[in-house]
Structure 1
Amino acid sequence: MNHVLDRANTDVVLIVDDVPDNLSVLHDALDESGYTVLVATSGEAALQRAAQAVPDIVLLDAMMPGIDGFEVAKRLKASPATAHVPIIFMTGLTETEHLVAALDAGGVDYVTKPIKPKEVLARMGVHMQGARQARQTRNALDAFGYASITVRPSDGRLMWQTTLARDLLLAYFGTSSPETPAPILEWLRRHLPDAQRNIEPPKLTADLGSRRLTIRLHQQTGDDDWLIVMRECSDDAVIESMSLAFKLTAKEAEVLYWVVKGKINRDIGDILGSSPATVKKHMERIFVKMGVETRTAAASMAMNRIRQLHPQFEG
């Protein structure tokens, strides 16, 4: 499937079965219920398809030649890109050891063959609700520049991460998935008892030169998974935010930044290599653009906006 999937209006389900004709009734039922249905006929194809277009839920045949369903599930759960995707096993076997194996491999549920579409849709609805809420949370966080990761404290595994989170963890801690940076894991485990009682732990911070990463615990997303939110703040990021917020030039935003820091025009001129008269001209243009008349009002308005965008900023 080469086209981009429209995730705003539909959930994507990947059905994996080496005899897809057996599932034509299920395929039709899912299609009629508004799902976008992808099909894979082998474990190898399932892993490729999931990598190309991450599904919202997987219906997975347990017994297949080659890579069987149990192995497919383990690999999907081992990848941060797909670790959050709920997997429902489809099996003709009801022996206890197979059901245990399905759950051990990362399945959240199972249905027995012959498949009953209504039963499958009902089970999917239960698991999709949690997955959908988690996805909406991550999308909202991404939109506001927050990077997020999901960590399992019991084994220290990084289960999921956004692209921005991957870059930040590498820059600040030199680690990459599935390794959770030791300071984050230690902080999470230390405050877990409080978090489980809905007491938010203190934020964790990490410094990298003039850059600072603030890390906080957001919420529990599964039985043993926790969503952690990170945001980077630097002088450059604050200045850029002010430039965008008030439609200032880069130089005007720099002047306003130092006004917020309590500097007078002469000091700002020394810092920026400009004369006090030039700084005064910048200030006049800043007042007009912000609709204020005094530097106190400009500093107050700027500080309010900075606190919204960069809560950890210290003026």
Structure 2
Amino acid sequence: MLEATEEQRPVVLVVDDAPSSLGMLCDTLEGEGYTVLVARDGDSALQRLELVAPDAILLDAVMPGLSGFDTCRQIKANPVMAHIPVIFMTGLSETPHVLEGFACGGVDYVVKPLRAQEVVARLHTHTRNARMTRLAREAVDVAGFGVVLVDARGRIAWRSPQAALWLQGDECGARPGRLPEPVYAALESDTGEVLLTLAGVPLSVRNMGRVGMGETMLLLEQRSVNAASPSRLANAALTPRETEVLSWLAKGKTNRDIGDILGMSHRTVNKHLEHIFEKLGVETRAAAAALATGHLF
């Protein structure tokens, strides 16, 4: 059972056109520490998602109007909601249906009749994994950095909270799900870096290269208007993984903590720190943390 205060209780959205048949499941979820929201069809589910971001979604595939598969596609096409794990729970058990569930973005597929404890176990796992991934990505916002992942079609696949602040607003002139055109120049630049101003904020945008799933990582850094040269941290050319490790180091985490958060051994963390210290030209954890948090270079 999850232990959390009322404010910290994870939220799960159950989408099914016959919610009364899921009474036992909803009761079990409540007993396990979840706050349960219910929607009767895909359209009402999307409306709810405009108001609240649940930790996970349990989604039926066959419903009146928008099918569960199409609902999932719309969820995954929206960068704001794409991180939410979707678990299908449906009576459709044929292989093509299962394959479609995963193809449209689902992380799991449970066939009815449901076994409540099995659903809860799967939900625990996917909720925990999604939260750990989100924490790791949000950590790179340390010291005024923001991160954007761009897919092969040039669409925003994910953006960190700091990047979202810089990219929001009509003044950026970008279509939904797309970056402002000047930002795309970083993808084509010989140096991998462009300088621009968004929403009145002077920024440096650097292309950090390809990451998983064919996506490209862009690192956004706020620059001083009068800055004559890049900061030591900007010049360090840390890899995305090294940036994550440094972020958690700056937040006071031990090597073992960092390993648990990022899913690596503490020995691997040590190796990353050795490379970070060398690139930053420092010898201690305190010095590296000071560079990251103080941004005084």
Q: Which TM-score bucket, shorter chain as reference?
A: 0.5 to 0.7
Tell me which moved more, 84-93 or 126-135. 126-135
Greater CA radius of gyration, 1 or 2?
1
Q: Note the aligned Cα RMSD (angstroms).
A: 3.8
- Confirm or deny: 8 A CA contact 1:210 1:235 kept in the other structure: no
Distance 1:99 1:210, change over 3 A: closer
Alpha-carbon distance in structure 2 between the residues aligned to 1:23 and 1:109:
18
1:161 aligns to what?
159
Is 1:211 equivalent to 2:202 in the alignment? yes
Q: Which consecutive unaligned segments of at least 5 residues does structure 1 have?
A: 1-5, 192-201, 238-303
Give yes or no for contact 1:219–1:228 (8 Å, CA) kept in 2: no
Task: Tell which deviates more after alignment, 91-100 or 173-182.
Answer: 173-182
Give the match for residue 69 of structure 1: 68
> 1:10 matched to which residue of 2?
9
The 3 A distance-change label for structure 1 pair 228 and 108 is farther
3-state SS of paired residue (1:81): coil
Residues 24 and 36 (structure 1 numbering): CA distance in 2 closer, same or farther, change over 3 Å? same
State the AA in 1 paired with 2:68.
G
Instruction: Tell me the distance in 2 between the aligned counterparts of 1:185 and 1:166.
Output: 16
Partners of 2:184 and 2:204 in 1: CA distance: 15
1:147 is displaced (CA, Å) by 2.6
Give 3-state SS (helix, strand or coil) of 2:65's partner.
coil
Task: Tell me if structure 1 keeps the 8 A contact 2:205–2:220.
Answer: yes
Measured at CA, do residues 128 and 167 of structure 1 come closer, stay the same or move farther in structure 2, by a change above 3 Å?
closer
Report the residue type matching 2:222 in the other structure.
E
Q: 2:47 matched to 1:79?
A: no
Deviation of residue 228 (structure 1)?
4.4
Quick one: which amino acid aligns to residue 57 of structure 2? V
1:233 and 2:223 are equivalent in the alignment: yes
Q: For 1:100 and 1:184, locate their aligned partners in 2 and report how far apart those are by CA, in whole Å.
A: 36
Distance of 2:21 and 2:157 partners within structure 1? 33
Rounded to whole Å, the distance in 2 between the matches of 1:43 and 1:159 is 22
Taking the TM superposition and a 5 Å limit, the aligned residue runs for 1:54-203 are 54-142=53-141, 144-152=143-151, 154-162=152-160, 164-166=162-164, 168-169=166-167, 174-180=173-179
Which amino acid in structure 2 is aligned with residue 165 of structure 1? Answer: A
Highest RCO, 1 vs 2 (Cα 8 Å, sep ≥ 6): 2
Task: Describe the SS at the equivalent of 1:52.
Answer: coil
Greater displacement, 211-220 / 86-95: 211-220
Q: Cα deviation per residue 1:53-98 (whole Å; 9 max; x = unaligned)?
A: 1111111000000111111111111111101111111110111221
2 CA distance for matches of 1:187 and 1:60? 38
Aligned residue pairs total 230
Asked if structure 1 preserves the Cα contact closer than 8 Å seen for 2:186 and 2:192, the reply is: no
CA 1:74/1:66 → structure 2, altered by over 3 Å: closer, same or farther? same
Residues 306 and 110 of structure 1: CA distance in aligned 2, closer, same or farther (over 3 Å): closer
Aligned CA distance change for structure 1 residues 103 and 305 (closer, same or farther; 3 Å): closer
1: CA distance between counterparts of 2:19 and 2:124? Answer: 22
Unaligned runs of 5+ in 2: 228-288
Relative to the length of structure 2, the TM-score reads: 0.63
Task: Report the AA paired with residue 195 of structure 2.
Answer: A
State the alpha-carbon separation in 1 of the partners of residues 7 and 217 from structure 2.
22
Over 3 Å counting, the alpha-carbon distance change for 1:210 and 1:8 in structure 2 is closer
User: Do the aligned partners of residues 176 and 102 (structure 1) sit closer, same or farther apart at CA in structure 2, a change above 3 Å counting?
Assistant: same
